[in-house]
Amino acid sequence: MHLEDIIRRINSFTAEAHEILAVHEMAPSRTVLLDDTYRELQRLSLRQDELLRQALRCVENKLYRAAHILAWTAFMDFIQSILASDGFRKLNIARTSWKISSLEQLQEEINEFQLIEACKEVKLVSKSEMRLLHGYLSKRNLCAHPSDFYPDYNQTLGYLADILNTIKSMQNKKY
């Protein structure tokens, strides 16, 4: 038997084992499903890529609040880069009182709740998507500030899957 054949068989066994174990509620193999979704994403910046990888590592290490925060941070970076893609022209037209000219200014002057609302105004998200994003932000806030919210493994996987799927769907939209 050749080394390549052994490696192929090991990889095949690993993939099949993860597929079988992923149906069990608390099985760490379920993160493999997130990895599959993650691999489908396109055009992420290096920062977004690294933040999402860190969020996945947090799940693997049972740091669920941190995973929420990192996933949200990656998502916001993704949104901000879309809004910056036209030099903030559409954003400044939609919000005439805003005179955004740089990412740093956007991050320092505009809170995330308002930014999500502005995304609806520039047609980046629909009204229902805006409400979902506000909900994701609310969960992130619960994780980032003192609260009685301690997400478990399943809640965290769900949150990360929602964030990854939202990024994926937004990548297919024209801005």
Q: Distance (Å, rounded) from C-alpha 34 to C-alpha 17?
A: 15
Which tens digits make up the pLDDT trace of 49-78? 999 999 989 998 999 999 999 999 999 999
| pLDDT recorded at residue 25 | 47
148-172 tens-digit pLDDT: 999 998 899 899 999 999 999 999 8
Q: Which pLDDT belongs to residue 17?
A: 58
To 5 degrees, how large is the angle CA 150–CA 36–CA 73?
A: 45
DSSP E strand stretches across the chain:
none
Report helix, strand or coil for 13.
helix
CA distance 136 to 72: 8
Q: How far apart are CA 17 and CA 20, in angstroms?
A: 5
pLDDT-derived band at 97, boundaries 50, 70, 90:
very high
Instruction: Provide, rounded to the nearest whole percent, the portion of the chain with pLDDT above 70.
Output: 85
**Tokens (6 digits) for 130:** 């805006």
Q: What confidence score (pLDDT) does residue 6 get?
A: 74
Q: Which CATH class name applies to 40-171?
A: mainly alpha
What is the rounded average pLDDT for all residues in the chain? 87
List the chain domain ranges. 40-171
Q: Given this model, what pLDDT does residue 108 score? A: 96
Considering only the C-alpha atoms of the chain, give the largest distance between any 2 of them, rounded to a whole number of Å.
70
